[in-house]
Structure formats: structure tokens, C-alpha cells
Structure 1
């Protein structure tokens, strides 16, 4: 028996509930990236700050390699039993990973085993967030009204970016009460405790969600890899665009902050404040770019993103090297964020609507997770490797090549209303 269509009030309530949980999950995930410079020495045996960061971001990248497994596990669960149940389970895992990191012993206590324990905790978080992305994109796309799908789906990145924003804001708040040395010593652990508590709290919020899928019961092969293979063409399209989109996303939203700090032109506290402002602006403009995508077409938004990223990322990073004022740095970061918004505002909807309902969560999640693990989570690690090898510009050549791939794949996207 088919479920009745949800009312407008039910849709709004469900979108708010899903987005709130999504925000908490991404806060937990990103707090690692933004506190890595404080705790890297706790787990790395090297005395070189750059090597310490490489080790810490190597673990950050490793967490992404659990995403395909998480997207398969939770995506399959969502397509078989419903989106709501799968989203509840994923947030429990995120809480577990956060609490683990908060209490991990340092290298002084357990030696090299410290970095292994950190890796295990990050793998658990990677498993969780690997499932979260595909389910959230699917859920929001199924609740969205015709002609406003870009607007509604943009709220996935509003909360995703909001998670980053809260991560940066929490560090700024911590620095009001703790010195830089205290942050490196013990205070960074407090943030992971807070993240775990918030993740458990979001379970209560998600109880009010309504199920968005209506016809899963009609397909016996729902949520299976066999059914997904029948839709291999849209799967490959998602993989191709996500490869470059993820690289750009994590370069701009994560590595840029590390890049600014490593330049030494402004201190950590000021760079943290700058990123706090910039991320707030990025979060606010997502619905605007979502509406723009609905107007000009989601396919065209992706094409514009690939061209602007190909032409603009390297010059902006070069300009950052000589930017000594906070206003100059903020302006350059905002330019990068505008470029990125052509992708983030429509990323969820174009992926989800390419797949039929019975494999939508699995196809969206797995098609996102595989290239995200390879090209997205590794971005800070790869960039630091190029820097350590004294060939920093090699990283920007790498970005340009992936943007060319995005452009070519975007041209192959359907011209029909599948993307609108």
C-alpha cells in the first residue's frame, strides 16, 4: 500500500529535522580538520610541524576511504527500509567516533599506537558521514517541489557548511578561554566531547521526520548493487563531476585555511576569525545560488563552476601569498566561495534525480563517496605533500586537470527536466 503524499507542513518539519541532524554530523566531522593544527603533535612522532600536519591530515584522508563502505551500507538500508531509519543509525556512529577521539591517549602514553587509535576513530566517523550525504541528498530531493528543487536541495550544503561554520566558531570561542598552548595541550578534546553530545541530541530531532520514499516496496531488488549496475551511466556521471567538485570543495573550505596559516602573514586566531565570517557568507548564499540553478538550469550551474574553478583557483591562491590585511584575505576567500557555490548549491539535487527511487540513496551516496574519498578527503594531504616537496604549483595543475574533467562530464548531463 502506497503512502499518502506529505503535506507542506510535514515537508517543512521534515526538512528542518533532517537538516539539523546533518549539521551536527558535519560539525563532528569537520572539527577534526580545524583542530588538527592543535593536536597533530599529540599523535605524530615527528618534530617537524609540516610532517605532523601531514600525518594528521593523512588520517583525515583515511576517514574518507570509509565513505564508500558507509554509503553502500546506509544507502542500501535507506533504499530497503526507508530514509529515516538509516539517518538515525548514521548519527549514532558519528557520536561514537567523536567520543573516542576525545579520550584517546597521546604518543607519550602509548607510542605509535596513538596514531592507530586516532585512525580507528576517524574510520568510524567516515563510515557515518559516508552514509549521511547520500541519504540527505535523496531525502531533500524527494521532498522538494517541482521547479524549486535546487532551492530545497541547497539546504543540504547550508547545513554542511553550517557544520564547518560551527567548527570554526567553536575554536574562536575556545580561544577566548584558553591560550594557544592550552589548546594544544588538552582543550581541543573538549570540542569532540561537545560534538558527541550534540550528535546524540540530534536523535531526538530526527524522530519528527516523515518518510519521503513512497514506492520502495514495489521493487524486490531495491538497494542492491545489481539494481545499481543497471543505472551505470548516471552513476559514472555522478562520479566524474564529484571528483572535481569534491577536490575544489575541500581545497577551498579546508586547505585554504591551512595555506593561510602556513604563510605566516597573519596569525592563527585572525585567520580563524576570517574563515568564520567567510563560511557564514557561504552558508547564506547557498539558497540564492540554488534559486539561480533552478532559473538557469542545474547543468549550466555545473558548467559555470568548472570554468570559473579552472581559471580562478590558482590566481586567487597566488594573490593570497601577498595579502597581508584581513580585508584582503577575506575578499579573496569569498571569491573562492562564490566559485564553489555554483557547484554546492545544486550538487545534491543533480545526483539524486538521476536515479530511480529504489536505488536513489545507494546511487547518490556511492557515486559521491568513491570520488570524494579519492579526490576530496585527500586534498589537504596532497597539497601538503606538494608543499613539502617544494613543488606547490603542482597541486594547482592537479586541480586544473580535474576541473577539465568536470566540464567534459557536465556537457554529457541530460538536457531534460531530470536536473530541474
Structure 2
């Protein structure tokens, strides 16, 4: 089943205009200090976002949370510990697609009058034990059918998907390397990225194999951290830098896990989102795609219409490496910044809002229109959830 209902800002049937401000993240760390907890990371991100947005915590009346490792606690526990009294509360479990899902519901909640100021936060304390536990028991299909093979994590699944994509599109490892090396070049300008060392194509190609054809730099590194933004009606912000939500569309279980995985649910999301936003991929100034593997980025760029057809993929990657395309994953993406568990789903939203509000210090591009795409939740073969948000800089 798919959900193609967009969240619009203004316009016929769109209701109240809604914007996002206060993009924030806790420092990402590969090895978090002793005593780090998921709840503390999430709380720190909420406080950072409200401070950045100029919002007092007592004015927050909505909270959306995404996390894999809150454990026995839930969104309501986090709200209670932070002293929040809420009229709207949501916990999203869809990983890489969590930010888009939370944003869609938050926009609707504000338009319906259920809340006036909503903080969306996602993240995890992802140490080695937490990561190993997560990939072994991600869901019942993984625990019952994949772990006994044994298969410890999604690398093997996405190695097969990458092989299919290479064959269909005529790609080489060098093609994927152009994406990875370009993202590392962005990461070097992002003080929040965990991996900022220079990377050449030779470095990429020489990296140890993980699961053919994937090598080390094709696989997202787990880190600890959290990301957050604040969502409120346009008239709430005054002079605060913000990004207007022009459209949000979602798609769940678009192919019943029987497709090739080379197309995502974005093929259903994108046409409606572009229509609602009154724009198209040719109008984009910046795009952030969920990037646990390079092949997944290419699948999203094709489904979004940023890459026009299969034959255009190799040329797009060559131009990307020469900075002659729309900027992609200007934070360095998760492949260089790190994947903070469910925070990876919010990472791209934070970055695009930063770009649209002129807050991407050191890596700022001239951006008036941006897109964030989410992808995630491998049920058995590939991700089952996808969404996209079209955002515009406030005038």
C-alpha cells in the first residue's frame, strides 16, 4: 500500500503554511564517552534545536521521536524527563524514512491545530554492542531467515542490489567512487563529520572488500549522535531563518519486497510532490538522499528525476565529481559524517534546512529550493519505506 497524500504549505486545500527552523545535531562520535545514553543524546539535540530556533522549551507542545535504542523508554518517557507537557506526540520506527514521516505528520498536526511548536528528534547511542544487536534482530524476517545463514547485517543484501544495479546501468566501481569521493570532499568542509580525511579515487578503490562488490567506503559507518529540527506555522517565526515546507509525500511497501530494489517508493512520491510544490527536479539547488550505500543514492536520484533515465547515470556521476550538477549530500552524507542509528533519517533534513537558511558554514551553496529523500526499513530484501520533502527558503 502507498500513501501519496502530500503536506502542503498554503495554496488551495493546503491550509496553514508551515516552516522548519533550528537545525541542530549533537556531535557525532565513533566512540562515545563512557556514560553516553540515547536519551541524553536526544535531549541534547532537542535543546540545541530550540536554542537555535529561539524557542523556549516551555513553548514546545509537540514532540516526534525516532530511535532504535531507547530501550524500555519511549517518546513519552523522554518528554517527561525533559519536563514537556504536550498536545501531540509521535514515535516513528521507520529508520531512514523516519524524518519524512515525522515531518508529514507534524505539518498536519500544526494545520489541524493539535500543536503549535513541534520538535522532531532522531538518534541513537550506537556502540558496537548496540549495532551488533540491531543488525542481528532488525525484524523477525532478519532474525528467523537471515541471521541463521549466518548474515550479520545488510551489507550482503546491498551487495547483491549493487551488483544488479551495476549490470543494469553499466556501472563500474569507479562510478560509485565518484559519488563517495565527492561526498568526502564535502565532509572535509563539515566540522560535524566524523570522517574528514582526504580521500582519492585510488584510496577508494584500494579499500578492503566487505561483500563483493562493496568495499569499506561503500558501507555506512555507525556512530552515536542525534539530530533535531523545530516545526511551526509560518507566522510563528518572525525574522528567524527558516525553510518552508512545500510538499511531503510518502510510500510504504510499494513493491511487497518482490521487486529488484533498483527503484524505490519515490517513484510514487516524486510526481505528486513536484506537483504540490509547483516545481521540478530541474529547479533544485541542493538535495540530500539517504546514503547507507552508494547504490541507494543513485536509485533515489533516478526516482526523484534528478538523473534523467538509466543512460544518464554514468555522465551524471562524472559531472558530479566535477561539481557540475546539483550539489548532493553537502554534509558529506552518512558515508562520511556517520550513521547515528535512526538519526541517519534526520541527517539530510537538518542539512537541507541549514543550506536553505544560510547556516551551512564552510560549505554553503546558493540554495532556494531543496529536497530531502528518505529510504529505509529492510524487511527482507531491501527498504520498504520512502519519502521526500520539498523545502523552499523563506523570502
Give me the TM-score of the superposition, normalised by structure 2: 0.30
Report the structure, 1 or 2, having the larger helix content. Answer: 1
Report the structure, 1 or 2, having the larger strand content. Answer: 2
Give me the TM-score of the superposition, normalised by structure 1: 0.28
